[in-house]
Every structure is written in C-alpha cells, then in structure tokens.
Amino acid sequence: MAWTTIKKTATEKAQATLTEELRAGFDWAQARAQLDGFEDGGLNIAYEALDRHVLAGHGNEEAMLWFGKDGRSRRLTYADLTAETARFANILRAHGLTAGDRVFGLADRVPELYVAALGTLKAGMVFSPLFSAFGPEPLRTRMEIGEANALVTTATIYRRKIAAWRDELPSLKLVLIIGDDAPDGCVALGPAMTEASDRFETVQTRPEDPALIHFTSGTTGKPKGAVHVHNAVVMHAMAGRYALELTPGTRYWCTADPGWVTGTSFGIISPLVNRVRMLVDEADFDLERWYGLLQDEKIEVWYTAPTAIRMMMRAGAEIASRYDFSSLRFMASVGEPLNPEAVIWSHEVFGRPFHDNWWQTETGGIMIANTADMDIHPGSMGKPLPGIEAGIVARDGEDGAELRLCAPGEIGELALRPGWPSMMRAYLHEEERYRKCFVSGWYLSGDLAMRDSEGYFWFVGRADDLIKSSGHLIGPFEVESALIEHPAVVEAAVIGLPDETAGEIVKAYVALNPGFEPSEELERDIRGLARKRLGPAVAPREVVFRTSLPKTRSGKIMRRLLKARELGLPEGDISTLESDER
Ligand code: ATP
Ligand code: MG
C-alpha cells in the first residue's frame, strides 16, 4: 500500500513491554503462572482482578475514577471494589442464586454495573452484559437465549423495556434495581448493598467454568451468544500488558461500553487484573469532554474505536490543538478497520499514532496488534500476539473441505489455531454454527485478510462483503480508505452490486465533513480521486451521499443492510442497528 511507515525510535522500542525475546520465549503456562489462582488449579477472574491485589497490600490504590453525566464523580480503590463486589455476591446468594446461574447487566456506565459484573464472577455465576440502548425486543431475545436468572438494571430501563414481558421469562428470578427504590417485584440494590456483608469468599471456580456470555454485534446477521470461561483471564492479563502497555498504576481509559466484549474484557477485566487506574465516563462521545478528560486526568493509555476517531477528524485538528495530550503514551483502536488516514492524522494531532488491533467477540481478547515495539504500517492490523498463531487460508481439495495456507500478499480467510485461553467455548444453543467455525485444525474468523512478507496482517473485508469485479477481488476496506482520503469525505461504505458484464460493480456511500454539500461535481471529484488511487477496475462506479451510514450500536458499518436495500431484499436482523439517517 502506498503509505509511509511510522518508525518507532530506539527509545520507544526500548520502553515497550513486548520484546523479541518475550515473543520468542512465550508460553501459556508462564502467562498463567503470573496470576495467583487457587491451590488446586482453580481460577476466578474476579479474584485475579480484585482480591489478589488487596491481599498483596495494594488495597488503597485507586482502581476506578468515575465521572457521571450529571457532573458527579466517584473514586474507588481496589479495597472498595473488593468490598462492594463481596456485598453484591452476598445479595445474589441471599436470593437463592447458585454457581452457574446467569446474571445480566443492563445499565449505563455506572459503578454499580462494574460491581455487578465482578460480583457475579466472584459468586461463581455467569455474567452477560447487555447494551443499555437496546430496545425491548433485542433485550428479550438475548435474555431468552441466555436464560437469564437475574438482571441488574435501573428503574427507568425496567419500566420502559422489561416490565411488559418479564413474567414471560420464567427463568428470571431476581431483578435488582440500581438506586434506593424499586418497582413492584424488584429489589432495590442500594439498601440491599448497605445490609449485605462486605465479606465473601470468592468461589473457587475451575479454569473451564463458564464466566461470561457475550453477544456478537450482529453486523452480519443474527447475534450469536459466545460463551467464555474463567481461563480467559490469562489472555486478558497478557494482552493488556503486551498490546495495551498496561502496568500497575497506569492511568487508562477504554471508551468501549461494557455492553460489548471490548468494554468488558478491556474495560473491566484486563485493566483491573493489571492493577491500573481506570477512568470510566458515563457520558457518550462528546469531543470536548473527551479531550478535556484526556488532558485533565492525564490519561496515559487510551483504547477507543475508529468511529470515534473519525468523529475527531471530522471536528478538525484545531480543536485538538487547544488541549495538552502530553501524558498520553499509548493509543489503540479496535472494532473496525482503522483507515491509514486516521493513523496518520492521529500521529500529527496527538504526537503519537493509534495502534490498530484486531479481534472478535469469539476470540475473547486481542489477537493481532500493532504493539509498542513495532513500526506501524498504517492500514495494517499488526502481527499476532505471542501465543497466537494466525494464518491466511483458502479452501482447497474436494468440496473445499481442506484448507491451504495462502502465499504472502494473497487474500484469504483470516484463521487462528485454537488453543488460546479466551477462545469461546460455544455459541449458545447453536452447536452446528459453532462447529462450522473449525476446519482442518483452524478457527475461521469470517474475515478476509492478507499477510505481507514482513508478517504484517492487512484487513480486506468481511468474507460476505468481498466484491468480485471483472476478475478482480476487491476488499471494501481498501476502497473506503481511498475515499476517505478525499477532504470532503469522513466515512465511507462500499458494496458490490450484480452487473451483467463485470459480475459485480462497486458502489460507495459516503458521509461528508462539515462545510461540504452533496453535488454532482463533488461526486465526480471523489470518483476521480478513487480512480487515481485504485485504478478504474476497482474504483466505485457510483458514489451516493448520505447524512450518516447505517451502523450497529457498537459502531460498525452494516454493509449488508445497504446491499439488501439496494437489491430489494429483506433487511434481516437489524436489532443492533443504530444510526440510519439517509
Ligand atoms: P456478527 O458476528 O454478529 O456479525 P461482529 O462480527 O461485528 O458481528 P464483533 O465480534 O463485535 O461482532 O466484531 C468483530 C469483527 O469486527 C471482526 O470479525 C472484524 O470484522 C471487525 N473488526 C474488529 N477489529 C477490527 C480491526 N482492527 N480491523 C478490521 N476489522 C475489525
Ligand atoms: Mg462476527
């Protein structure tokens, strides 16, 4: 790709946690040995995230700094969180819940939600986060699939989204309401916490005991419930250290909502296991609020997503220049392809680039990453973390039942060798779908990518989104990145449409930066730039202007929806659809 490399200086490389030696000498048993566990091989995520630090004398260190939407704030130490989660675990037990029961969390980013997540794990129960902005139907479906036994939510959410159908979910025994008052049939969490004891002996779960159920984003279809076990904490600990540069005391901010896997794995578990000070902001994206928090709280490590980065780009570098980001030492991005333009922009504006990394709900933790010791090739996802074997594979043999490894530069499906600790153990009630993910000793991700001769991985697109035009294989990401280079374009989505002569033709949808208006001239100009960058065979034939692009609530562009509409096909599962202004 025609992008410059961002070289790391010798000092930057020396300061990085990950080194060539660590990569070469890595083994999972050693990574596990850095955690405490229990005497007979037991392991519990909550114990590793909280109890362990208190026992080692770090109870007074700050674990969480919380800012509410309304200007309130709270500081919680490791000892505070340990006591609060003990109270929460006692409440669950007092209401007759037992190990293995499923507790769902449904609230904005408030401390109680974090306490509920860890308190549930402490009690040996399974936690499943839901996204608070979901409507009643998506919530009901997920709680049905997950056979919820308890729910932690707020009175407002309960009345609006749960009350009407609660009785139709017989598994649901307990509804805890954050605050001091609760609707009929629910229990107010505030007074219950005050009454409960702050002592609780963390349940000695086994590494393979289920801990979390995470629903996928639903970008490609009906969301799947991925089951994760306590052993995942080994991955969370390691990936936090190596891919996010987390060390004890680091001031860290993960902007992802705990309703999704990133917000739990790297917004709760990984930071606490690594004993950092984490910032939690209840409010949604607000440019100046975010810049203010980065500056005032002297955030050192920041983990966010491409949609937010593109919004910052849209607002321009001038606003950013009014803030002091000198505390920031590492920035990472996940969830969607990070366009090269965004990496270069961040390097200029923050003085350091975003480090893209790739993983999925299914993988439970970061798999491929640009780490602090690596030079960055903007547009590349980086290289597999230690202990992770990734390959690019293509179907081979009769009926495509075999796989072969692709040569460097060849596009194929991104695959991983199963065996890392945070790999999903099942899709709930979908055994067949789960089994289909594994072929010839590989886990198939459903994403297309290629590996270059230096071992860097490049995202091409989702397997479903690949476009075949006049004998060319076209990945939407490459085309979208070229479109974003145009000063008028802030976001782009590209799909393939059937065409008699070419097989498929490329169509693009773009959202514009402020100060630009849709016009035929602009359309021609954007297509012109794409042609210059990509060549006529790959450049879009048509560019359509949209106020915004259809996205999942976790911020991913839903290309399949654009395509379905274009072809007049059913829209499929759109329970996670968020913005959709035409
Ligand atoms: P569903 O599986 O329900 O269709 P989803 O795949 O969007 O939804 P997630 O597990 O939240 O659900 O997202 C994982 C996917 O997000 C990856 O498979 C990949 O397509 C995309 N993704 C994540 N990080 C990156 C990245 N750094 N670069 C490119 N794509 C990414
Ligand atoms: Mg997926």
| Residue 283 in domain | yes
Ligand 2 center from residue 222 Cα (angstroms): 10
User: Please, what is the average pLDDT of the chain?
Assistant: 95
Residue 23 has pLDDT above 50, yes or no: yes
Structural domain span for residue 480: 466-579
| Residue 431 in domain | yes
Nearest Cα residue to atom 18 of ligand 1:
360
Nearest Cα residue to atom 16 of ligand 1:
335
Looking at the structure of the chain, the number of domains it has is 2
Residue 223 Cα distances to 62, 572, 574, angstroms: 36, 11, 10
Same domain, yes or no: 474 and 446: no
Nearest Cα residue to atom 1 of ligand 1:
218
Ligand 2 center from residue 219 Cα (angstroms): 7
| Residue 79 in domain | yes
Same domain, yes or no: 415 and 489: no
CA of residue 67 relative to chain centroid, distance: 21
| Residue 3 in domain | no
- Cα distance between residue 31 and residue 390, in whole Å: 19
Instruction: Determine the pLDDT at residue 436.
Output: 95
Same domain, yes or no: 80 and 206: yes
Ligand 2 center from residue 309 Cα (angstroms): 22
Nearest Cα residue to atom 3 of ligand 1:
218
Count of helices and strands (H, E) across the chain: 21, 28
Nearest Cα residue to atom 27 of ligand 1:
358
Same domain, yes or no: 386 and 473: no
Q: Is 20 exposed, middle or buried (0-12, 13-18, 19+ CB in 10 A)?
A: exposed
576 — pLDDT class (breaks 50, 70, 90): confident
Instruction: Determine the pLDDT at residue 1.
Output: 46
Ligand 1 center from residue 93 Cα (angstroms): 36
The CATH number that applies at residue 532 is 3.30.300.30
Nearest Cα residue to atom 29 of ligand 1:
337
**Residue where one domain finishes, among candidates 395, 423, 451:** 451
3-class SS of residue 466: coil
Q: Which of 142, 265, 266, 336 to mutate to test the pocket of ligand 1 (most atoms within 8 A of CB)?
A: 336
| Residue 574 in domain | yes
**Residue where one domain finishes, among candidates 451, 481, 499:** 451
In this prediction, residues 358-378 reach a mean pLDDT of 98
Answer whether 235's CB lies under 8 Å from 211's CB. no
Residue 100 sits at the vertex; the CA angle it makes with 280 and 179, to the nearest 5 degrees, is 40
Nearest to 440 by CA among 386, 410, 396: 396
Share of the chain above pLDDT 90, in %: 88
What is the sign, positive or negative, of the torsion defined by CA atoms of 223, 227, 233, 235? negative
Same domain, yes or no: 519 and 401: no
Q: Which ligand minimizes its atom distance to the CA of 333?
A: 1
Same domain, yes or no: 340 and 435: yes
Ligand 1 center from residue 414 Cα (angstroms): 12
Q: What are the tens digits of pLDDT across the range 149-174?
A: 999 999 999 999 999 999 999 999 99
Same domain, yes or no: 175 and 43: yes
Task: Please give the number of the atom of ligand 1 that sits closest to the Cα of 357.
Answer: 27
| Residue 281 in domain | yes
Ligand 1 center from residue 554 Cα (angstroms): 10
Q: Which ligand minimizes its atom distance to the CA of 220?
A: 1
pTM score: 0.94
Residues 330-341 as b or e (16 or more Cβ within 10 Å = b)? bbbbbbbbbbbb
Same domain, yes or no: 474 and 430: no
Ligand 1 center from residue 335 Cα (angstroms): 6
**Six-digit token string for 488:** 């008028």
Task: Please give the number of the atom of ligand 1 that sits closest to the Cα of 445.
Answer: 18
| Residue 456 in domain | no
Task: Please give the number of the atom of ligand 1 that sits closest to the Cα of 226.
Answer: 10
| Residue 458 in domain | no
**How many CB atoms sit inside 10 A of residue 571's CB?**
12
Same domain, yes or no: 166 and 250: yes
CB contact set of 467 (below 8 Å; sequence gap of 6+) = 473, 474, 475, 476, 494, 495, 496, 504, 506
In this prediction, residues 537-549 reach a mean pLDDT of 93
Instruction: Determine the pLDDT at residue 282.
Output: 97
Q: Which has the minimum average pLDDT: 20-34, 80-94, 543-557?
A: 543-557
Residue 42 Cα distances to 35, 39, 229, angstroms: 11, 7, 12
Q: Is 187 exposed, middle or buried (0-12, 13-18, 19+ CB in 10 A)?
A: middle
- Cα distance between residue 299 and residue 309, in whole Å: 16
Residue 3 has pLDDT above 80, yes or no: no
**How many CB atoms sit inside 10 A of residue 227's CB?**
21
Nearest to 494 by CA among 526, 465, 529, 532: 465
**Bigger pLDDT: 40 vs 222:** 40
Residue 475 has pLDDT above 60, yes or no: yes
Ligand 1 center from residue 88 Cα (angstroms): 33
Q: Name every protein residue with a CB atom under 6 angstroms from any ligand 1 atom.
A: 216-221, 223, 334-338, 356-358, 360-361, 381, 445, 447, 459, 462, 554, 556
Ligand 2 center from residue 310 Cα (angstroms): 22
Residue 398 has pLDDT above 80, yes or no: no
Instruction: Determine the pLDDT at residue 2.
Output: 46
Q: Which ligand minimizes its atom distance to the CA of 481?
A: 1
The CATH number that applies at residue 33 is 3.40.50.12780
Nearest Cα residue to atom 15 of ligand 1:
360
**Residue where one domain finishes, among candidates 426, 451, 476:** 451
